[in-house]
């Protein structure tokens, strides 16, 4: 019964929801465009993490994402995990956050459909949103020579360099 009334409320707010989704999607798209623009000047770690983030953002921004599409996120997770096992890794401090996000993605792929039937909301979408932002922040952190590493996402911080 609750799901029925929630569905009615969401249909009545359809126009506002669509505008909100478009505004939310514009923010990561801007950051992705900036990141893609820098692909030729960055190393392999940056490229892999930008592609991992791009694949994950595609799942978030996509109008329809079936649960079977989450298999594409597995590829993005593998690209991200690969960066933690490289010798020139600068991302050790972010590894616990990555493990938590992998755990949430794996857990929620099993729970999202029953919860979506009950509530009408895909619970995995916010987790994928955070994962995609995390991957993009890792890409910017992995390449300290790029000016964009001075930006902070709150998820990954760059070490403060004292001025001489």
How many percent of the chain have pLDDT more than 90? 8
Please provide the DSSP assignment of 104-140 as one string.
HHHHHHHHHHHHHHHHS--THHHHHHHHHHHHHHHHH
For the stretch 7-63, pLDDT in tens is: 655 566 666 766 776 777 777 778 878 777 877 777 777 788 888 888 888 888 776
Q: Please tell me the predicted confidence (pLDDT) of residue 138.
A: 85
DSSP state of 40: G
Q: Is 96 or 61 the better-scoring residue by pLDDT? A: 96
For the stretch 97-123, pLDDT in tens is: 999 999 999 998 888 888 888 888 888
For the stretch 56-84, pLDDT in tens is: 888 887 766 667 778 888 989 998 888 88
Q: What sign does the CA torsion over 59, 29, 135, 75 have?
A: positive
Question: Of 28, 15, 22, 3, nearest to 129 (Cα)?
Answer: 28
pTM recorded for the entire structure: 0.69
């Amino acid at each position: 019964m609750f799901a029925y009334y929630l569905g009615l409320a969401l249909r009545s707010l359809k126009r506002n929801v669509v505008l909100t989704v478009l505004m939310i999607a514009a923010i990561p798209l801007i950051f992705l465009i900036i990141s893609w623009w820098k692909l030729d000047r960055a190393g392999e770690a940056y490229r892999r993490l930008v592609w991992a983030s791009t694949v994950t953002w595609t799942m978030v921004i996509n109008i329809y994402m079936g649960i079977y599409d989450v298999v594409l996120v597995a590829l993005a997770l593998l690209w991200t995990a690969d960066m933690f096992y490289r010798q020139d890794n600068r991302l050790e401090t972010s590894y616990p956050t990555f493990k938590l996000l992998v755990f949430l993605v794996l857990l929620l792929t099993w729970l999202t459909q029953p919860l979506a039937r009950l509530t009408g909301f895909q619970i995995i979408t916010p987790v994928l949103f955070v994962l995609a932002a995390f991957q993009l922040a890792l890409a910017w952190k992995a390449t300290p020579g790029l000016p964009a590493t001075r930006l902070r996402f709150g998820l990954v911080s760059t070490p403060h360099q004292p001025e001489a």
